């Protein structure tokens, strides 16, 4: 078979964001676009004689992109690629395969929570041999490579039949097609008390899992229904579709509204959950009660020892800076370290590898542990189920007890989407310029204790990441944070994160938006959101 060296030229804008390179699908399908980026990945990490994992969330173009990546891997001298059947792998399952097979990394095709389809989003991300997203230094090197690329290598060959499990050949390279679910499900069995959860379902416990027509469906059906005995039909929207059935596979109260309606209605099941496009996010809902992701992380940290995989306790916990400090209070009570990192799972990798943190989480519906190096939606659902099976209390009771013990960090995120980028940048620049004068000011009756632009020094490798979000902290423990999204593909998305602490015992049952009202007003006044962007109200509130 012939290896072609194809002449190409740099394409502007191939800069990976919070989680890989994401663009509109037609952009990715444009001439040389995918090829330039994949060659840049191989040029940076090297492919000769190496083994990689490949899979994606099944969105539109997933199947064809996989064939291109395989042909390029073969042409670049890779020895072996392990591919999920049908080119499907959830992000946590890919992370697990990368680690379990001691490979040299993997390529994940996903734009995660972004909609999919011919006119929606596509993405490509490289994960390191530890199973985690490439750190900034590596993604920067890939971006630099895209600016000077002049040729890529690709094998002339027919498609590999990825529907057939087993070993295939592509030129000099082996393509091992594997069941996307089996190894992941086996890993989950080592972490959780499947017997206890099975007994809970057998006792009549009811659950709803909304896979949002994305990649989690097959995993959830196998684990929840087949192995744990949840009623058939527990998992809805269970077949992954190239356009996610038109759904926006972002598990939050806005986009998973059907699940929310069911959980708040009469005859609601005991427990509800949803996951995102690539299966690394989770939303958790109890009967009649929504669990904010920051609270979920805190409850999981406080109760993880009830699951066999965490019976020895946690080494430490880590959260992204905009995530509420609820988990910090748990860490303090447990006497373990709590780390605060920038947004994006890539920053947790070093802490996990060094054994400093066991549990990690983000306010954006992401929770995970040292079992893989990605956040893991179904893992979080199973840890909740394990805790419910042991404690035999409702989600509402568990939350109430948690707040009574630790106090409550009222929390919300307001997203302003598809803002003109220049306006968003101007707003952030003005805000950064105003930070120095804020300390000591009284706004909405609250005194500003400090304001800065978050910078992080990795405690393991001392790498520094600056300008990770503006935070304004008040003397009473309230705060707000503003940053621009790094995963969008249209204009800018402004994220406003709001937090206020109530120690209790009074005032633990307020509506979060009401409890946060002064912080919301303060944020708008300081950042002049409406003046710069023309927006008064957010598009999505979580």
Exactly one of 112, 292, 294, 485 is catalytic; name it: 112
Q: Which stretch binds ligand VG1 (CB under 6 A): 81-89, 264-272, 275-283, 436-444?
A: 275-283
**What would you report as the CA-atom Rg of the chain, rounded to the nearest whole angstrom?**
23
Site string for ligand VG1, 16-55 (x = CB under 6 A): --xx------------------------------------
Cα dist. 321→191, 257, 471 in Å? Answer: 28, 27, 9
Q: Which is nearer to Co ion, 276 or 370 (CB)?
A: 276
Q: Which of residues 110-169 bind ligand VG1 (CB under 6 A)?
A: 112-113
CA–CA gap between residue 107 and residue 124 (Å, rounded): 7
Instruction: Indicate whether 281 belongs to the interface with ligand VG1 (CB under 6 A).
Output: yes
Instruction: Quote the CA–CA distance of 377 and 117 in Å, as a whole number.
Output: 22
State the binding partner of 19 from Co ion, ligand VG1, none, CB within 5 to 8 A by kind.
Answer: ligand VG1
Nearer to ligand VG1, 357 or 398 (CB): 357
Site membership for ligand VG1, residue 216 (CB under 6 A): no
If one asks whether residue 465 binds ligand VG1 (CB under 6 A), the answer comes out as no
- How many chain residues touch ligand VG1 (CB under 6 A)? 18
Q: How many CA atoms lie within 13 A of 49 on its CB side?
A: 0
Task: Pick from 222, 276, 328, 499 the residue near ligand VG1 by CB under 6 A.
Answer: 276
Burial class (CB in 10 A: 0-12, 13-18, 19+), 496: buried
Q: Quote the least distance from Cβ 362 to ligand VG1, whole Å.
A: 4
Tell me the residue number closest to Co ion, measured at CB: 112
Please provide residue 187's backbone torsions phi and psi, each rounded to the nearest 5 degrees: -60, -45
Binds Co ion by CB under 5 A, chosen from 35, 43, 276, 376: 276
Paired tokens of 381: 């659902």
Which of 257, 219, 253, 255 shows the shortest CA–CA distance to 239? 219
Query: Which tokens go with 214?
Result: 């994305």
Contacts with 362 (C-beta within 8 Å, 6 or more apart), sequence order: 293, 319, 320, 322, 323, 343, 345, 375
366 binds, among Co ion, ligand VG1, none (CB under 5 to 8 A by kind): ligand VG1
Contact mark string toward ligand VG1, 472..491, x via CB under 6 A: -------------xxx----
Q: Given the DSSP bridges, would you call strands 464-465 and 456-457 parallel, antiparallel or unpaired?
A: antiparallel
Q: How do 106-109 and 121-127 pair as beta strands?
A: antiparallel
- Phi-psi category of 136—alpha, beta or left, where left has phi over 0 and alpha has psi -120 to 50? alpha
Q: How far is the CB of 277 from Co ion (least distance, A)?
A: 6
Binding mask 332-351 for ligand VG1 (x = CB under 6 A): -----------xxx------
Output 210 or 270, the one with its CB closest to Co ion. 210
Among 35, 270, 278, 499, binds Co ion (CB under 5 A): 278
Burial category of 444 from C-beta neighbours within 10 Å (exposed 0-12, middle 13-18, buried 19 and up): middle
Dmax (CA) of the chain: 73
Other Cβ atoms less than 10 A from the Cβ of 132: the count is: 23
* Only segment of 27-35, 110-118, 122-130, 518-526 that touches Co ion (CB under 5 A): 110-118
Adjacent-strand bridge partners of 127: 106, 133
Which one of the spans 52-60, 276-284, 462-470, 475-483 is the region binding Co ion (CB under 5 A)? 276-284
* Distance separating alpha carbons of residues 333 and 302, to the nearest angstrom: 9
Give the nearer residue to ligand VG1 in terms of CB position, either 173 or 496: 496
Kindly state the smallest distance separating residue 57's Cβ from Co ion, in Å.
8
**Least gap, CB of 225 to Co ion (angstroms):** 23
Q: Which of 63, 121, 193, 280 binds Co ion (CB under 5 A)?
A: 280
CB of 377 to ligand VG1, least distance (A): 9
The CA distance from 177 to 156, in Å, is 20
For residue 436, what are its two tokens?
């120095």
**Active-site residue 112, yes or no?**
yes
Nearer to ligand VG1, 240 or 269 (CB): 240
Residue indicated by tokens 């780390």: 339
Closest-approach residue to ligand VG1 (CB)? 112
Q: How far is the CB of 323 from ligand VG1 (least distance, A)?
A: 8
CA 226 from chain center: how many Å?
26
**Residue of 535, 384, 413 lying closest to 485 (CA atoms):** 413
Q: 486 touches which of ligand VG1, Co ion, none (CB within 5 to 8 A by kind)?
A: ligand VG1
Report the interface residues with ligand VG1, using CB under 6 A. Answer: 18-19, 112-113, 276, 280-281, 320, 343-345, 362, 364, 366, 485-487, 495
Report the interface residues with Co ion, using CB under 5 A. Answer: 112, 276, 278, 280-281
Q: Which residues belong to the active site?
A: 112
């Amino acid at each position: 078979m012939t290896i072609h060296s194809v002449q190409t030229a740099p394409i502007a804008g191939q800069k990976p964001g919070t989680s890989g390179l994401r663009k509109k699908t037609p952009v990715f399908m444009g001439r040389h676009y995918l090829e330039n980026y994949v060659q840049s990945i191989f040029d940076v990490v090297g492919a000769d004689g190496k083994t990689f994992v490949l899979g994606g969330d099944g969105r539109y173009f997933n199947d064809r992109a996989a064939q291109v990546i395989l042909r390029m891997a073969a042409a670049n001298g890779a020895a072996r690629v392990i591919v999920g059947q049908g080119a499907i792998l959830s992000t946590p399952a890919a992370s697990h395969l990368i680690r379990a097979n001691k490979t040299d990394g993997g390529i994940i095709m996903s734009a995660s929570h972004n909609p999919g389809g011919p006119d929606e989003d596509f993405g490509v991300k490289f994960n390191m041999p530890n199973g985690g997203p490439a750190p900034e230094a590596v993604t920067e090197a890939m971006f630099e490579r895209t600016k000077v690329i002049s040729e890529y290598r690709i094998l002339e060959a027919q498609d590999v039949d990825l529907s057939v499990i087993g070993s295939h050949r592509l030129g000099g390279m082996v393509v091992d097609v594997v069941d996307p679910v089996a190894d992941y499900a086996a890993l989950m069995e080592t972490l959780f008390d499947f017997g206890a959860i099975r007994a809970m379902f057998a006792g009549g416990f009811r659950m709803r899992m909304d896979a949002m027509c994305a990649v989690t469906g097959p995993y959830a059906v196998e684990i929840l229904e087949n192995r744990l005995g949840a009623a058939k039909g527990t998992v809805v929207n269970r077949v992954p579709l190239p356009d996610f059935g038109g759904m926006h596979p972002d598990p939050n109260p806005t986009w998973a509204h059907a699940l929310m309606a069911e959980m708040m209605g009469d005859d609601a099941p005991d427990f509800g959950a949803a996951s995102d496009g690539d299966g690394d996010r989770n939303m958790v809902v109890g009967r009649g009660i929504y669990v904010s992701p920051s609270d979920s992380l805190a409850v999981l940290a406080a109760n993880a020892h009830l699951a066999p995989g965490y019976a020895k306790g946690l080494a430490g916990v880590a959260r992204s800076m905009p995530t509420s400090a609820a988990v910090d209070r748990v860490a303090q009570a447990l006497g373990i370290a709590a780390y605060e990192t920038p947004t994006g799972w890539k920053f947790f990798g070093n802490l996990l590898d060094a054994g400093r943190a066991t549990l990690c989480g983000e306010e954006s519906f992401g929770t995970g542990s040292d079992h893989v190096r990605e956040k893991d939606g179904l893992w979080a659902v199973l840890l909740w189920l394990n805790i419910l099976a042991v404690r035999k209390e409702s989600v509402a009771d568990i939350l109430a007890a948690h707040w009574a013990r630790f106090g409550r960090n009222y929390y919300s995120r307001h997203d302003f989407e598809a803002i003109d980028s220049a306006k968003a940048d101007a707003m952030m620049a003005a805000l950064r310029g105003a930070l120095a004068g804020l300390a000591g000011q009284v706004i909405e009756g609250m005194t500003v204790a400090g304001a800065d632009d978050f910078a992080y020094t990795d405690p393991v490798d001392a790498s520094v990441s600056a300008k990770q979000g503006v935070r304004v902290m008040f003397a009473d423990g309230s705060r707000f944070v503003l940053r621009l999204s790094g995963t969008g593909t249209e204009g800018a998305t402004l994220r406003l994160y709001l937090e206020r602490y109530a120690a209790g015992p009074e005032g633990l049952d307020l509506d979060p938006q009401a409890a946060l009202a002064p912080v919301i007003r303060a944020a708008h006044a300081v950042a002049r959101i409406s003046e710069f962007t023309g927006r008064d109200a957010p598009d999505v509130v979580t």
